[in-house]
């Protein structure tokens, strides 16, 4: 990741999410869970490559370094989910997140992935703000380009 694109600190993230509507908090959880799933899949593929194909010790160490870096990012993302949970509960809402097992195919292989259920909804079925549903697509796109990126 480049120096210009560093994620915000956890303290700044906790402060920023206070301004988000509840639907955006739920959306952020879904987005983070999706990112975690991709990092885990990437790590799995890297481990398989190391075990099956990689011959050079220096290449193995480099790839293991990438795996460790991904694990660190996953830990940070889990910290962000905990902050989102705290924010939801501080608003007087119940945090309901269950793991649902769903069989999906990734590159032709059967894998099991989890998708969170938040306040009784799964995936993109999260609650949406009324204004999002009533805005024109071009207004929504323009609005999505502005704001705080978490």
Q: For the chain, how many structural domains are there in total? A: 1
| Pairwise CA distance, residues 133 & 3, whole Å | 37
What's 146's DSSP letter?
A: S
pTM: 0.64
Q: Is 126 a member of any domain?
A: no
Q: What is the pLDDT of residues 100-135, one digit of tens each?
A: 333 333 343 433 344 444 444 444 433 334 334 444
Q: Which residues on adjacent β-strands are paired with residue 112?
A: 103
| Pairwise CA distance, residues 109 & 39, whole Å | 17
Nearest to 117 by CA among 87, 95, 148, 141: 95
What's 2's DSSP letter?
A: -
Q: Is 137 a member of any domain?
A: no
Q: What is the pLDDT of residues 54-102, one digit of tens each?
A: 889 999 999 999 999 999 999 999 999 999 999 999 999 988 775 433 3
Domain extent for 41 = 10-103
Q: Is 79 a member of any domain?
A: yes
């Amino acid at each position: 990741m480049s120096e210009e694109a560093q994620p915000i600190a956890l303290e700044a993230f906790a402060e920023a999410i206070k301004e988000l509507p509840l639907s955006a908090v739920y959306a952020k959880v879904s987005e983070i869970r999706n990112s975690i799933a991709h990092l885990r899949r990437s790590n799995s593929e890297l481990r398989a490559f190391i075990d099956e194909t990689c011959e050079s010790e220096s290449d193995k160490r480099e790839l293991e370094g990438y795996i460790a870096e991904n694990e660190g990012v996953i830990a940070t993302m889990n910290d962000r989910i905990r902050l989102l949970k705290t924010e939801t509960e501080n608003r007087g809402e119940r945090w309901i997140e269950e793991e649902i097992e769903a069989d999906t195919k990734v590159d032709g292989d059967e894998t099991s992935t989890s998708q969170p259920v938040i306040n009784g909804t799964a995936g993109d079925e999260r609650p949406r703000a009324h204004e999002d549903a009533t805005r024109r697509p071009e207004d929504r796109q323009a609005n999505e380009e502005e704001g705080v990126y978490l």
